[in-house]
Amino acid sequence: MQPCAISVIKGDITTLDVDAIINSANRSLLGGGGVDRAIHRAAGRELLAECIELCGCPVGESRLTKGYALPARHVIHTVGPVWLGGASDEVETLRRAVTSALDIARDMKFETVAFCCISRGIHRFPVDLAAKTTLEAMLAHDFAGRVTVCAYTDEDLEAYKALLPQ
């Protein structure tokens, strides 16, 4: 099994021209705060309409929509856990969320995907643990395409860079 090629950048995920961007969504899929809100705004009203039809998504799972007005052709909405101190299986749930997004990318035969930093921001996952868990899930997966981690903050960027082989 050839692991996916992973790179990390700092930027605005809504500007990336890839097969799919992975959105850190909430369970409703209706556009919460942070990057989720930015993706919904950039994609346009059609994205919200499609998300309404999906009737939500459980924590640790993912759903696929079109990208609409985004440069990305699709959005994979993944629902990562809120950090509650580590005693509520948050690490395994984050791993499942990343894996489920990559399952969709593989099954759809996507070649390029971009992840935002799942469960960071308002979900309060510790930066180093989020980066470690996410990268481990990516490297263990059989998705053979190119993965870009698109960090929004310097803190996230540095955490991912520190863990990636040079």
Other C-beta atoms within 10 Å of 160: how many? 26
Element containing residue 50 per DSSP (H, E)? helix 45-54
Residue 166 has pLDDT above 70, yes or no: no
Asked if residue 57 has pLDDT above 60, the reply is yes
Q: Residue 16: is its pLDDT beyond 90?
A: yes
Query: Residue 10 maps to which CATH number?
Result: 3.40.220.10
Q: pTM of the entire structure?
A: 0.96
Rounded Cα distance, 67 and 39, in Å: 9
Give the range of the structural domain holding residue 92, as residue numbers without chain letter.
Answer: 5-163
Decide the pairing of beta strands 74-78 and 20-24.
parallel
For residue range 64-120, list pLDDT tens digits in order: 999 999 999 999 999 999 999 999 999 999 999 999 999 999 999 999 999 999 999
- For residues 165 and 101, give the distance between their C-alpha atoms in angstroms, rounded to a whole number: 23
Taking the CA atoms of 107, 108, 112 and 115 in sequence, report the sign of the dihedral they define: negative
Instruction: Tell me the mean pLDDT in the region 16-38.
Output: 96
Q: How many domains does the chain have?
A: 1
Asked if residue 1 has pLDDT above 90, the reply is no
Q: Which residue in 163, 137, 166, 159 sits closest to 10, CA to CA?
A: 159
Residue 80, amino acid: G
